[in-house]
Structure 1
Amino acid sequence: MLPTRERYVAGFVDHLPDGAAMSVKQLAKQLPLYGQQAISTALKALSVAGHLRRVRCAVGAGDETRWVFRTFWSRTARDNEWWNTYLATEAATRTAAPVEPPAPTAVPPQRTPPQPTDTEPSPPAREAISAERTQTTALSPAYLALARLGRDDHRLGLSADDCTTLEPLAAQWLDRGVTTDYLTNALTAGLPAQIDSPVGLIRRRLIDKLPPRLPATASTPTDTPAPTRRLLVECTDCGLPGPPEALPDGLCHPCHTTHSAGGRPSPDPTQITAVKAHMANLRDLLKPV
């Protein structure tokens, strides 16, 4: 049975929608009963109990690679073997998936639940992974780049119909080898102070600033291995990354040792002596002459 604070935090996290922000600061804003330190301690306890794991995964390719932080949540407490198997399946899925360009901005830690049930999945949570990928790949990169413009600058907010109308023009840019970051920068650079028609401005820029088509480069050999999509578990306490098997209970070795000992390690006796000597020296200096 979890303590009251951990049950309170677990109940809130369990009802968050997929993809919700899961940083300690964000949770502390939404849970007024506890501060950031208490939330951090509760998340560590939930990690040790087998309810969550934090991971870092690389997205993109080459110079476009960035790290995305995610939190996997399980309503049912799972042991380390189950989590290692699930995360290995997740890493293998990302290796087989096509490389997609990263978003223009860093992605905050997000909750991605494996949707466990009382019956052990085999392989773990494969249905949830497939559903998540289907939702992500349903929209083209060109459409997503246009849809995100309003998130970056409210003056460029486009409706769903606007994005669908402009999607073919934006796709021409991506077909010529530019990235979504390049496309976004070209559409948002040097904007006027007031924009009366965002769709008209974006259409004009998509047509007028269309980049030239570069000659095709040498094709990649068919036997070139697919890029490895790395996935590292992050220590729930200190944030140190590592492979899943190296972080039992979601904690690195020093944090796991500290937690098993029931608290912080005792300070070095030599440090205590040095501090006492320093304080005595300060008191001597403050005495009146």
Structure 2
Amino acid sequence: MAAPGYGKQSAPEQLPRSARDFSHLPAREAYLASLIDHLPDGAAMDAKTLAVLQPHYGQMAVRTALTRLSTAGHLRRVRERIDSKDCRWVFRTYFSRTPRSDAWWTHFLATGEASTSGAPDPPKGRTLNRTSPTSAAYAALAGLGLADTRLALSAADCTALEPLAAEWLARGTTLALFTAALTANLPPDVHSPAAFTRRRLLDKMPPERPLPQQQPTRIVECTDCRTPCRPHALLGGLCRACRGSDTFKTPPPHPGALSPAAVHRHAARIRHELGGSNTPALHAR
């Protein structure tokens, strides 16, 4: 097991296990994916640990297999801050036996929620919709006539100007500041209180308050080189540099490849011959 907070994390909403979960993968990747799938959450799954857990593949082979599992949609590596008030980060690998699209992973890692569509809903901008007649914006407009009779507005005027007043309040203006800004330095005669108020609402509109900067709590890494990247910049969990490398392109299957048992027999025969041969004989061959 990894240190607490580190290691494998299962992705949500996976399909039930079946014998064909990894049948679309090459033999090595399918073998290691099955091994990872049966590890409990929190288990260490770095290349060194996975190489020790099974007898068939070393660290370099495991590392390459993990990269190919990433491009096949089965895993992503991330750094996560364990507490918003804490500066400590942990390293986790999210694994899904159900292959996922890049869009699904991007949405999940950004929101922590699974998405059946693979992408988040488009952001909805704030609109200046008319609110209830008893809203704070409506009340602020109606109160202008009490502060100065030159800005006495009718109910219809308050309704028409309510969206603009609501925007003032949404930008952090208090009722007292709103009244002071609208009634300051009025001319001796205001012939059209509604038109005058609209003009002031537009001309003196306060600036939007900047949104508080939130520190990121999750950073996605390239599966191969571990470089932090924006989720949408990763394809198959790989950064641009690693995607362009020939190292991680899946080679075509070799029809004449030897089985592991045959490889062991050949290795044993070669060791036997080397053990019984002297150097000159080897050179003679």
Flag whether TM exceeds 0.5 (same fold).
no
Larger radius of gyration: 2
The TM-score with structure 2 as length reference comes to 0.43
Provide TM-score, normalisation by structure 1.
0.42
